[in-house]
């Protein structure tokens, strides 16, 4: 099984752990041998959601949910069974848990991508 960490791009080849799961630039899928691949976050391609009053339009809400399903499909196809995040919304957390993907919230002070990988592999 694979592990996942949401990441943001900093410079050329440098990535950092994203502060929020749904706003990550990409997702690093870590294999058992410690190698990883990056997958673009489909939620980032939705663009700015139109706000009518205090709520999303139905069309934008549907687009957001279809992208959430796309993200979960990517994670499942890659065999992800566990993710580690700094922050995640309750709704997204529920979606992941319902699909059998464990959600682990990282301890405060863990910001380094390599530290996060070590912590994730330790909690296998």
Q: How far apart are alpha carbons 52 and 112 in whole angstroms? A: 38
| Residue 79, pLDDT score | 92
pLDDT at 105: 86
Walk along the chain (124 residues) in steps of 10 and give the mean pLDDT of each run: 85 79 88 85 60 46 62 89 90 91 84 73 59
Render pLDDT for 26-56 as a digit per residue (tens, 0 to 9).
899 988 887 888 888 887 754 444 444 444 4
pTM: 0.75
The pLDDT of residue 52: 41
- Identify the residue whose tokens are 């002070």: 109
Distance from chain centroid for Cα 70? 12
Domain 2-122, CATH: 3.30.420.130
Region class of 109: left (phi > 0), else alpha (psi between -120 and 50), else beta: left
Q: Which pLDDT score is estimated for 103?
A: 94
């Amino acid at each position: 099984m694979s592990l996942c960490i949401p990441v943001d791009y900093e410079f050329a080849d440098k990535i950092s752990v994203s502060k929020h799961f749904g706003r990550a630039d990409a997702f690093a899928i870590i294999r058992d041998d410690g190698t990883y691949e990056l997958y673009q976050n489909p939620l980032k391609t939705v663009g700015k959601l139109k706000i009518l009053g205090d709520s999303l339009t139905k069309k934008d809400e549907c687009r957001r949910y279809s992208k959430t399903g796309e993200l979960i499909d990517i994670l499942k196809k890659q065999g992800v069974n566990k993710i580690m995040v700094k922050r995640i919304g309750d709704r997204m957390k529920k979606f992941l848990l319902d699909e059998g993907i464990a959600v682990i919230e990282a301890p405060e002070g863990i910001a380094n991508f390599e530290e996060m990988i070590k912590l994730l592999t330790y909690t296998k």
